[in-house]
């Protein structure tokens, strides 16, 4: 008898019939004698509908209200699933974020979970109930509804698994595991049986949409065994696990890409100490994640500084940077939304050199210009013109021998 | 400078444009220097959509989950309205039932408000904010989401007005006041400028859909000045007030009808003391409101007993009664959903006799059979075959001289 957390994404609960199907899957695990907590996303299309309404109402919706609005999508799914289970004779109870005290900070639209009240859930588990939980949402200390950002339901699932010391956390989704790259771009992409937390983190942070990055961080931190499986196809999916459990480490495990960033360049910045702080502090205060940063060599006391931000924060970031530019007397601000980041990821890189050089070579042979570069121990990323994304991904996937 | 509670029904907030229009109305009252709390219903059609989903999922959805599901409709409206106000530069903050501790009992789908945390709202009012509140919902002591029954948003508005000692509570709706009867049935129905709480209670309890009954009870209990106005037409609407303020009391103020009840008859009930208790206690325990009760004269130690229940509880009530019938050895249970209740209402009846006789005469002249009768100090009601409803209403409205 184990305690298992299931998480079902939007496409897995996209209709009444699909929710009934999830109820049957949960019932089966129940019959095998296990306790189950089911975290659900909004029905596919529902969140987009709510976001659309918010933006019809205001160009920049108040963020507190925005969160309270879009959190209703998950509430609908968690209660419908509990209705389905109860009607099958399986006692079930739904919980919203505030009811099980999923306490977050107050960074609306991208809040972070700080703690969860395990006791309330354990009480229901001990009473023999299945628990359904609205993913993606929490409350801050003041009782305001917060959301965790797109894909936040994965984080809810892993955080609950960690808080309740669950035996496994299974993320059910519309794909049957983690692939070497996006199969829509490379038809010969291969499903991985295992991947390390670290690799998954790099893949997730680069827009491989299978798992949300913070859920993997949580899983790594609390060592939660995490499995990505298909709701619709029966197979073992991909296990996300610690490095030592992996038998052999290939040079490169996967190729990822991300079209969700935009590039901002400050031109003619006076090259004085403290300038970077002046530029990035206001962005941090506005809760905007700056990803890659490149600074040109200084010429005549001035330099250019380029960085990327999420597209969703692009307008807000640009406004802030334009204000900063006046303060620090930078010459100009230019911006580009048509960029993409392509990356190769693999723990095997640690013991092999030459991955970056090979990557640059593969891209240059196709005439793809590299605008920015960043590297980590297990990853090399290049920012390119977004129109070359698919070409770049295929070239790298084949070039590093990842195909079937 | 006054503190005013507005309440907008589903048709008044039925689209993004309509919610923007409500925001403009609120802004205007704000400009006049008043503090405003706005209670909103779900956008028209939204609650029905959610109810439909619940019933697609299960014939009898678990009531705790059902309430948590359908309460999302109001959450969408209250947050969208707050987004609209904030985008107009008017600071606004939305509250869900649990956030301002609208504490109710645990009678899911028809909970009653027990108390409200006025302090939380007054804090925001003092900070100069408009408050938007999701109507229709509360939480019980355990933190479970409850709903107040159809039309419950009116009750939320009046309860908040009472708790905050507001100067006025205005119920904005799609009609411009309370009429002598349904204008869809009688084109010559007249709008009333004033009506007493008592009369309004009888009208509301009989299905005149303008105000929910409990909201009028609350208003009467706490003497909250209540006004029914149109969201779309500018006029003074109808003031619901104390009796002494009314200049003259006509014999009959209005004609109401109700098609939302069903009739259950227990035949051949052994006529022993305690039988009625055995029949009605299980219904009360299931939170089913029994309305009219008629018992036939006893014959050979047996009697027939007929009563009405809300159609929404009909299935549940019938199951319970069939069980009871076995226990008490009643001969048979028959039921009829095709009934309607028509009533004449007026505080003037107190000092005049003959209203009931005139009503029976008017109905019988049209060949309408009366199945059940009930009377109060200011009301006479008859249950008839539902197919005669419109005819009966027109005959009574004209017969008592209520037309223009």
CATH of the domain at B126: 3.40.1160.10
Strands lying side by side in the sheet with B130-134: B92-95, B130-134, B35-40, B3-8, B168-173, B226-230, B238-241, B194-196
Is B57–A20 a contact, with Cβ atoms under 8 angstroms apart?
Answer: yes
Q: For residue A348, is it within any domain? A: no
Q: What's the pLDDT at A244? A: 65
Q: For residue A209, is it within any domain? A: no
Q: Is A93 on the interface with B (CB under 8 A)?
A: yes
Q: What's the pLDDT at A248? A: 58
Give mean pLDDT, residues A105-112: 95
How close does chain B come to A106, measured CA to CA in Å? 15
- Under the banding of pLDDT at 50, 70 and 90, the label for residue B205 is low
Q: How far apart are the first and last CA of chain B?
A: 38
Give mean pLDDT, residues A307-314: 94
Q: Which of A57-66, A382-391, B47-56, B244-253 has the lowest mean pLDDT?
A: B244-253
Q: For residue B278, is it within any domain? A: no
How close does chain B come to A116, measured CA to CA in Å? 16
Q: Is A141 on the interface with B (CB under 8 A)?
A: no
- Under the banding of pLDDT at 50, 70 and 90, the label for residue B244 is low
Q: Is the pLDDT of residue B247 over 70?
A: no
Interior/surface letters A118-153, b for 16+ CB within 10 angstroms, e for the rest: beebeebbeeebbbbbbbbbbbbeeebbbbbbbbbb
Q: Crossing angle for the helix pair A16-31 and A72-87, nearest 10 degrees? A: 60
Answer positive or negative: Cα dihedral of A213, A215, A221, A223.
Answer: negative
Q: Decide if the complex's ipTM is over 0.85.
A: no
Q: Which of A286-290, A352-356, B11-15, B50-54 has the lowest mean pLDDT?
A: A352-356
Is B76–A50 a contact, with Cβ atoms under 8 angstroms apart?
Answer: yes
Residues of A in contact with B94 (CB under 8 A): 64-65, 68
Q: Which of A21-30, A339-348, B143-152, B288-297 has the lowest mean pLDDT?
A: B288-297
How close does chain A come to B215, measured CA to CA in Å? 27
**Which tokens go with A97?**
């974020």
- Under the banding of pLDDT at 50, 70 and 90, the label for residue B130 is very high
Q: What's the pLDDT at A34? A: 97
Mode of pairing for the β-strands spanning A238-241 and A194-196:
parallel
Is B96–A145 a contact, with Cβ atoms under 8 angstroms apart?
Answer: yes
Report the distance separating Cα A70 and Cα B105, nearest Å: 28
pLDDT per residue as tens digits for the range B283-323 = 999 989 888 888 877 778 888 889 999 999 999 999 999 99
- Under the banding of pLDDT at 50, 70 and 90, the label for residue B211 is confident
Q: For residue B286, is it within any domain? A: no
Nearest CB neighbour to B54, from listed A69, A83, A99: A83
Q: What's the pLDDT at B249? A: 61
Residue that the structure tokens 């977050």 belong to:
A104
Residue B53 is given by DSSP the state H
Q: How far apart are the first and last CA of chain A?
A: 38
Residue B402 is given by DSSP the state -
**Contact call for residues B95 and B113 (beta carbons, < 8 A):** no
- Under the banding of pLDDT at 50, 70 and 90, the label for residue A138 is very high
Q: For residue A151, is it within any domain? A: yes
- Under the banding of pLDDT at 50, 70 and 90, the label for residue A249 is low
Number of A/B CB contacts below 8 angstroms equals: 115
Nearest CB neighbour to B98, from listed A59, A72, A98: A98
Q: Is the pLDDT of residue A350 over 80?
A: no
Give mean pLDDT, residues B100-122: 95
Residue whose C-alpha is closest to residue A196's, from A211, A176, A175, A174: A211
Q: What's the pLDDT at A206? A: 60
- Under the banding of pLDDT at 50, 70 and 90, the label for residue A388 is very high
Q: For residue B110, is it within any domain? A: yes
Higher-pLDDT residue of B127 and A289 is B127
Residues of B in contact with A20 (CB under 8 A): 57
Query: What's the half-sphere exposure (Cβ side, CA atoms, 13 Å) at B53?
Result: 30
Residues of B in contact with A98 (CB under 8 A): 98, 143
Residues of A in contact with B87 (CB under 8 A): 57-62
Is B76–A72 a contact, with Cβ atoms under 8 angstroms apart?
Answer: yes
- Strand ranges inside A174-260, DSSP E: 194-196, 226-230, 238-241, 254-258
Q: For residue B326, is it within any domain? A: no
Q: For residue B396, is it within any domain? A: no
Residue whose C-alpha is closest to residue B208's, from B230, B187, B231, B180: B180
Q: Is the pLDDT of residue B373 over 60?
A: yes
Number of domains in chain B: 1
Q: Is the pLDDT of residue B207 over 60?
A: no
Give mean pLDDT, residues A106-115: 94
Q: With pLDDT > 90 as the criterion, what percentage of chain A qualifies?
A: 72
Q: In Å, how far are A21, A267, A384, A395 from A370, measured between CA atoms?
A: 46, 19, 5, 14
Q: What's the pLDDT at B201? A: 87
Q: Is the pLDDT of residue B18 over 70?
A: yes
Kindly compute the dihedral angle of the four CA atoms of residues B170, B173, B175, B180, in this order, to the nearest 10 degrees: -60
Give mean pLDDT, residues A236-260: 80
Disruptive mutation site among B13, B24, B38, B69 for chain A (greatest number of A CBs within 10 Å): B69
Disruptive mutation site among A61, A65, A75, A138 for chain B (greatest number of B CBs within 10 Å): A65
Q: Crossing angle for the helix pair B355-365 and B389-399, nearest 10 degrees? A: 130
How many C-beta atoms surround the C-beta of residue B17 within 10 A? 9
Q: Is B20 on the interface with A (CB under 8 A)?
A: yes
Report the distance separating Cα A146 and Cα A289, nearest Å: 18
Q: What's the pLDDT at A303? A: 87
Domain membership of residue A130 as a residue range? 3-174
């Amino acid at each position: 008898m184990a305690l298992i957390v299931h998480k079902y994404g939007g496409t897995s609960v996209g209709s009444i019939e699909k929710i009934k199907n999830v109820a049957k899957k949960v019932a089966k695990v129940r019959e095998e004698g296990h306790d189950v907590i089911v975290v659900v996303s909004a029905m596919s299309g529902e969140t987009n509908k709510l976001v659309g309404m918010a933006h019809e109402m205001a160009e920049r919706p108040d963020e507190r209200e925005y969160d309270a609005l879009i959190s209703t999508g998950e509430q609908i799914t968690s209660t419908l699933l509990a209705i389905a289970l109860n009607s099958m004779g399986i006692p079930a109870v739904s919980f919203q974020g505030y009811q099980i005290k999923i306490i977050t900070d107050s960074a609306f639209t991208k809040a972070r979970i700080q703690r969860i009240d395990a006791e309330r859930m354990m009480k229901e588990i001990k009473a023999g109930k299945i628990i359904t939980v609205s993913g993606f949402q929490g409350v801050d200390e003041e009782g305001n509804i917060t959301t965790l950002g797109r894909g936040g339901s994965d984080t809810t699932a892993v955080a609950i698994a960690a808080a309740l010391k669950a035996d496994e956390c299974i993320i059910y989704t519309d794909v049957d595991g983690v692939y070497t790259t996006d199969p829509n771009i490379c038809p010969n992409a291969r499903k991985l049986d295992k991947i390390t937390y670290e690799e998954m983190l790099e893949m997730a942070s680069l827009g491989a949409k299978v798992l949300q990055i913070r859920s993997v961080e949580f899983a790594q931190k609390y060592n939660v065994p995490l499995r990505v499986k298909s709701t619709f196809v029966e197979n073992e999916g991909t296990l996300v696990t610690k490095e030592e459990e992996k038998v052999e480490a290939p040079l490169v495990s996967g190729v990822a890409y991300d079209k969700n960033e935009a590039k901002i360049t400050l031109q003619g910045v006076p090259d004085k100490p403290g300038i970077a702080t002046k530029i990035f502090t206001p962005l941090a205060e506005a809760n905007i994640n700056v990803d890659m940063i490149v600074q040109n060599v200084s010429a005549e006391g001035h330099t250019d500084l380029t960085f990327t931000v999420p597209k969703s924060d692009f307008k807000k970031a640009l406004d802030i940077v334009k204000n900063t530019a006046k303060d620090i007397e930078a010459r100009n601000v230019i911006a580009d939304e048509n960029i993409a980041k392509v990356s190769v990821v693999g723990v095997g890189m640690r013991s092999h050199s030459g991955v970056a050089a090979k990557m640059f070579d593969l891209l240059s042979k196709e005439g793809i210009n590299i605008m920015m570069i960043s590297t980590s121990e297990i990853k090399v990323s290049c920012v390119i013109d977004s129109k070359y994304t698919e070409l770049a991904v295929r070239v790298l996937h084949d070039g590093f021998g990842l195909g079937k």
